[in-house]
Amino acid sequence: MGHCNLRCLECSHLSPYVPHEIYDLNDFIADIKVLEQTLQLQYFKFVGGEPTLNRQIVDFILAVRQSQIAQKIIVSTNGVTLFNMSDEFFKALDILEISAYPGTLVGQKHIEFAKEKGAEFQKEILIHDKHIFRRTQTPYPHPSEQILQQIYDSCAILQKNNVIHHGYYYKCSRPIFTNYYLQAKGIQGTYLPEKDGISIYQPHFRDRLISYLQRGKPLAACQYCLGTVGKSIEHRQMTKEELHAMPAHFYKISQIVYMNQMRKLARYQRWNRNLQRFGMIAFWKKLLWIFNKLCTGSYLFKFFLKRLKICLNFAFQRLGSLILARKEKKWLIG
């Protein structure tokens, strides 16, 4: 589900902009049935919006459990509705991930409650203190193709957080929700989320999925996204008015993005993607790691510093013995 009961500034799923929207349980089960023929996942994570707002959340979790598509099932929550959750909910999941945001109603009581339930049903409870968010969205398209490509190439999300939504498979959640954000800001466009994903119902899903994941071209949604290189920003809740307010367009891209980090990560990810295509990832990863270390200077610097020390030591020793020899010579002549 896309909507949420909080209005976090720079929410990574754009939830404050998403209207009441629920994934139909039968559609979800049908989607999972198709996916289980192709995917075997380590984790299946329910995110939102706020997943616990869905009254059928337990049925959703059990559908995934039955399919055996993933080894572990995680539910990610902001914790606000924790006291309303039944024992079945805690029994059904494997890991409960609580993002504790400052300025919300979630306090120590909620955390203690979750921990008690975790202990009772032997489930893992993870607490993430989220004071800092990353800038992630802009209503203005990126200033150049090069920046767009670098934002995409440096994006860590597309490497690990793929999303399934209404019969489509996406590299990230942005395509699904970007339209809501743009509409809230009064921008009318022809952006079609489906263009950024692939249908799981069309034939040859496996082959299409592989080529989709290896594609190096940015998504249409990347045009308005800062990926994972946006500058840090203090977390807070937005007012309703802020949802529709347009940020002033006077900033340069370097004011909202860590440029050096973006370039470096983009270079690294590009290499990585290309190497994955050749299937030599383990070997090349190691090589890249060494190359990266050398480029960042720490290894190279230490290497030269050590040699410089040896040379200087040797030079001083030579100089000392020369002076001594000269003195001795003078003394001998004298």
Stretch that binds ligand SF4, among 96-104, 214-222, 267-275, 288-296 (CB under 6 A): 214-222
CB 135, min distance to ligand SF4, A: 12
155 binds ligand SF4 (CB under 6 A): yes
DSSP string computed for 258-302: -HHHHHHHHHHHHHHHHHHHHT-HHHHHHHHHHHHHHHHSHHHHH
Q: 197-199 and 168-170 as β-strands: parallel, antiparallel, unpaired?
A: antiparallel
List the x/- string, 227-256, binding to ligand SF4 by CB under 6 A: x-----------------------------
Please count the residues of this chain forming the interface with ligand SF4, following the rule CB under 6 A: 13
Question: What is the per-residue binding string for ligand SF4 in 160-199, x denoting contact by CB under 6 A?
Answer: -----------xx-x-------------------------
Question: Rounded to the nearest whole angstrom, what is the least distance from the CB of residue 140 to ligand SF4 in the complex?
Answer: 15
Is 49 in contact with 30 (CB distance < 8 Å)?
no
Distance, CA of 196 to chain centre: 17
* Residue 158 binds ligand SF4 (CB under 6 A): yes
Q: CB of residue 45 vs ligand SF4: minimum separation in angstroms?
A: 16
151 binds ligand SF4 (CB under 6 A): yes
In the window 303-332, what residues touch ligand SF4 (CB under 6 A)?
none
Nearest CB to ligand SF4, comparing residues 64 and 198: 198
CA distance 53 to 22: 10
Q: Segment near ligand SF4 (CB under 6 A), from 31-39, 48-56, 93-101, 221-229?
A: 221-229
Write 162-168 long-range contacts (CB < 8 A, 24+).
Answer: 162/213, 164/31, 164/32, 164/35, 164/200, 165/23, 165/197, 166/23, 166/27, 166/31, 167/27, 167/30, 167/31, 167/199, 167/200, 167/201, 168/193, 168/194, 168/197, 168/198, 168/199, 168/200
The number of residues in the chain equals: 334
Residue 225 found at the interface with ligand SF4 (CB under 6 A): yes
Binding residue for ligand SF4, selected from 44, 89, 152, 258, defined by CB under 6 A: 152
